[in-house]
């Protein structure tokens, strides 16, 4: 029942195929990427989104470019691949999994130095496949560890989409939910719609109902009401970047939920792979927060509802301070309490 049939990304032997997350759930169509710049556009335009999925897609972007260059311009491989890595790195700023995946690709490329361009391309494609496989395995381990924190009968609130669609498969926050159900627990999930891009309404509600999981969609502004009435007893979300002291960037609106959870004494959990941790930044105020187009706030697709020319702010993420997070669930273990020491221990430092 909980084995998701969704393929967020798949390699078809020539191209990277990405499920088009801009048009779900109305349409299920795939976008083919043949070059690094196709992947840059797909990340920037939200065809693929969610921190781990962005990292996986970027890894394939590097491999695709190397395959292309090995065929048509082997002499330029070094300079062109370097430039493709830079364009991929700047496609979105907040999720650190992007930089993490590109660093892994760069290390593999370095290890292949001196090889023929074709061998470099093959090696980079193998690395992209490995990143995908490892992401799914990490989500499964995280799911098993996180499931132990979820009581049978829990009523869970989640925000944005931290599911199979945001990863290579199974999901992080939704992976914990899937694993808890696989372990025999009965759960009810409330999905925040997640204005302005509606990842909760369009993606989480669809993904969970595809798997037959009990999901109820709510407007973001209804969360406080439900929590205050005791209808939600745990909040679980994903993350885009967790820094050295445990401060965590995630989809805009996450911080509000953490404050509500603290006010009402319910646990607030973050589920994320170790690749989401950025120990180089000391605290959350240093995390680059993406500001997206005003069009996402003044309307949706062709529909407009705000006055033309109105001033708009559209920060896509916010930062939840470590002190409001009850635990961070990773594939290596659970960090609780969430603080610098806990993060350092998890990373083996």
What residues make contact with ligand MRU under the rule CB under 6 A?
A: 49-52, 95, 160, 162, 166-167, 172, 199, 237-240, 250-251, 316
> Reduced to 3 states, what is the DSSP secondary structure of residue 256?
helix
How many alpha carbons lie under 13 Å from residue 207 in its C-beta half-sphere?
33
The verdict on whether 20 is a catalytic residue reads no
Nearer to ligand MRU, 162 or 187 (CB): 162
Selection from 268, 188, 192, 255 nearest residue 223 by Cα: 192
> Reduced to 3 states, what is the DSSP secondary structure of residue 316?
coil
Nearer to ligand MRU, 117 or 196 (CB): 196
Which residues in 197-339 belong to E strands, given as ranges?
A: 215-218, 234-237, 241-243, 248-251, 268-271, 277-278, 299-300, 303-304, 317-320, 327-330, 333-335
CB of 54: closest distance to ligand MRU in angstroms? 7
228: enclosing H helix or E strand: helix 223-228
CB of 156: closest distance to ligand MRU in angstroms? 15
Nearer to ligand MRU, 112 or 261 (CB): 261
Nearer to ligand MRU, 49 or 68 (CB): 49
277 bridge partner residues: 242
Phi, psi of 193 (to 5 degrees): -60, -35
Q: Which of 38, 240, 247, 278 is catalytic?
A: 240
CB of 52: closest distance to ligand MRU in angstroms? 5
- Return the active site residues: 240
């Amino acid at each position: 029942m909980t084995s998701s049939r969704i393929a967020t990304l798949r390699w078809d032997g020539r191209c990277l195929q990405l499920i088009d997350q801009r048009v779900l759930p109305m349409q299920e169509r795939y976008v083919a990427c043949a070059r690094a710049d196709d992947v840059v556009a797909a990340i920037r335009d939200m065809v693929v989104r969610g921190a781990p999925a962005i990292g996986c897609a970027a890894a394939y972007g590097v491999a695709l470019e190397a395959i292309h260059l090995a065929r048509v311009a082997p002499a330029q491989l070094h300079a062109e691949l370097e430039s493709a890595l830079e364009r991929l790195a700047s496609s979105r700023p907040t999720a650190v999994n992007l930089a993490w995946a590109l660093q892994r690709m760069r290390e593999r490329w370095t290890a292949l130095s001196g090889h023929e361009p074709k061998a470099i391309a093959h090696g980079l494609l193998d690395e992209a496949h490995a990143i995908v496989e490892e992401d799914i395995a990490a989500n499964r381990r995280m799911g098993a560890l996180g499931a132990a924190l979820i009581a049978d009968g829990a009523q869970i609130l989640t925000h944005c989409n931290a599911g199979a669609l945001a990863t290579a498969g199974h999901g992080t926050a939704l992976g914990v939910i899937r694993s808890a159900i696989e372990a025999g627990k009965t759960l009810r999930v409330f999905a925040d719609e997640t204005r302005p891009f509606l990842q909760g309404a369009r993606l989480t509600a669809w993904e969970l109902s595809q798997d037959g999981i009990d999901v109820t969609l709510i407007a973001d502004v209804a969360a406080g009401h439900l929590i205050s009435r005791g209808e939600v007893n745990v909040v679980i979300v994903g993350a885009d970047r967790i820094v050295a002291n445990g401060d965590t960037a995630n989809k805009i609106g996450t911080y509000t939920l953490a404050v509500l959870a603290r006010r009402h004494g319910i646990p607030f959990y973050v589920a994320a792979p170790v690749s989401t941790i950025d120990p180089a930044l000391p605290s959350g105020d240093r995390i680059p927060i993406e500001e997206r187009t005003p069009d996402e706030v003044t309307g949706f697709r062709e529909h407009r509802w705000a006055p033309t020319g109105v001033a708009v702010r559209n920060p896509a993420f916010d930062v939840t301070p470590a002190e409001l997070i009850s635990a961070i669930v990773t594939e290596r273990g659970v960090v609780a309490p969430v603080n610098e020491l806990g993060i350092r221990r998890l990373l083996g430092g």
